[in-house]
Amino acid sequence: MKEKKYDYLIVGAGLFGSVFAHEMTKRGKKCIVIDKRKHLGGNVYCEEKEGINIHKYGAHIFHTNDKKIWDYVNQFADFNNYINSPLSLSKGKLYNLPFNMNTFYQLWGTKTPEEAKKIINEQIAEYGFKSPKNLEEQALSLVGKDIYETFIKSYTEKQWGKKATELPSFIIKRLPVRFTYNNNYFNDMYQGIPVGGYNTIIDGLLSGIETKTSVDFFEDRISLESLADKVVYTGKIDEFFDYKHGQLEYRSLRFEHELHTIENYQGNAVVNYNDASYAFTRIIEHKHFEFGKQNKTIITKEYPENWNRKKEAYYPINNDRNQSIFKKYKEESKLSKDVIFGGRLAEYRYYDMHQIIASSLTKVEEILKIERQ
């Protein structure tokens, strides 16, 4: 049989595909990476304007507890010491997030953990439910009325486009409250933004590897598949199987970017807008991720939207319907011996960046182990 030109055709130049390509190339395999977008990087791609890296597909903050993953990304970029400390605007007042002693002081004037705990516990006792039947009941049972009404109700309703009483309780499994004055959104040991933006990491991962952008796998599937022994597919799993078991649903986002000729728009990278009177859920001011000193600034308003096939798929909707459809695709994917499925769209799962990198590295190890047998 005629030898194929590549060992791997990698569909999707996001973090999963780029890590896979990097690791396999390092081991002497020949890879080609294609992406239907005009650029590499998938959802971590940054577009530079006015010297500011704009997080094109939503704010991305790298965080992990895994030293191995931290060391891995640090091979490709230095990270700054950005700590995510979002603010939340509710009924004209700004609060610190995540819910911590600063938030409770701003909300109730409480100064000690005991005072704050007392209020939360009293409200849980008064408004909570033994078996919460929807998101509203779940949130009231976890944090009580004030936190729910100030920070959760309208924000979540905008996010999902549905009333909190119509949303399933499992969307909110936990609502961590912190009884220290600590505004660091993440609990992880390592956190930061790559100096020069995320493209630096993608450029490092894909250095020396053949890549093609603006190439949709499905527009030329047969000839693309014939190029390589194996395909690594990181697109939507239902699309791969031509939607034969039904279409998986997502929530989408629309981003409106604005250039302002002032140095500093909101003084923080992330400000959540809770109230229903704003259609967007948050404003991102990108320069603050990298402590920018430019005399202009770029902000992005993030509007949650219903999804259809023409829009970007951002968040999987993990209800029973979608999970049972996904299971069928997953079963079928096991029969496609020459295709490796990976990444957030092929696994129909929300993953953070560090988790995607770990899952790509694991997949490479699994394949190499089988090859060695």
Q: Minimum Å distance from CB 178 to ligand FAD? A: 19
Q: Minimum Å distance from CB 347 to ligand FAD? A: 8
Burial of 251 (0-12, 13-18, 19+ CB in 10 A): middle
At 216, the amino acid letter reads D
CA distance 197 to 200: 6
CA 279: distance to chain centroid? 21
Nearer to ligand FAD, 132 or 235 (CB): 235
Burial 105-120 (b: 16+ CB within 10 A, else e): bbbeebeeeeebeebb
Active site annotation includes 35: no
The catalytic position among 35, 136, 178, 198 is: 178
Asked whether the beta carbons of 156 and 147 are under 8 A apart, the reply is no
The catalytic position among 282, 285, 290, 347 is: 282
Active site annotation includes 344: no
Q: Minimum Å distance from CB 280 to ligand FAD? A: 13
CA distance 62 to 58: 13
Q: Minimum Å distance from CB 2 to ligand FAD? A: 25
Asked whether the beta carbons of 16 and 45 are under 8 A apart, the reply is no
Active site annotation includes 349: no
Asked whether the beta carbons of 357 and 234 are under 8 A apart, the reply is no
Active site annotation includes 178: yes
Which residues of the chain form contacts with ligand FAD (CB under 6 A)? 11-17, 34-37, 42-44, 58-62, 216-218, 234-235, 253, 314, 343-345, 351-354, 356
Nearer to ligand FAD, 220 or 365 (CB): 220
Asked whether the beta carbons of 184 and 147 are under 8 A apart, the reply is no
The catalytic position among 7, 47, 332, 352 is: 352
The catalytic position among 47, 105, 203, 251 is: 251
Q: Which residues are bridge partners to 211 per DSSP?
A: 33
The catalytic position among 174, 320, 338, 372 is: 174
Nearer to ligand FAD, 181 or 291 (CB): 291
Active site annotation includes 348: no
Nearer to ligand FAD, 81 or 131 (CB): 81
Collapsing DSSP to helix, strand or coil, 211 comes out as strand
- The CA dihedral of 215, 219, 222, 227, to the nearest 10 degrees, is -10
Active site annotation includes 251: yes
Nearer to ligand FAD, 117 or 330 (CB): 330
Tokens of 373: 């047998």
Q: Minimum Å distance from CB 359 to ligand FAD? A: 8
Active site annotation includes 254: no
- Give me the active site residues, please: 174, 178, 251, 282, 302, 350, 352
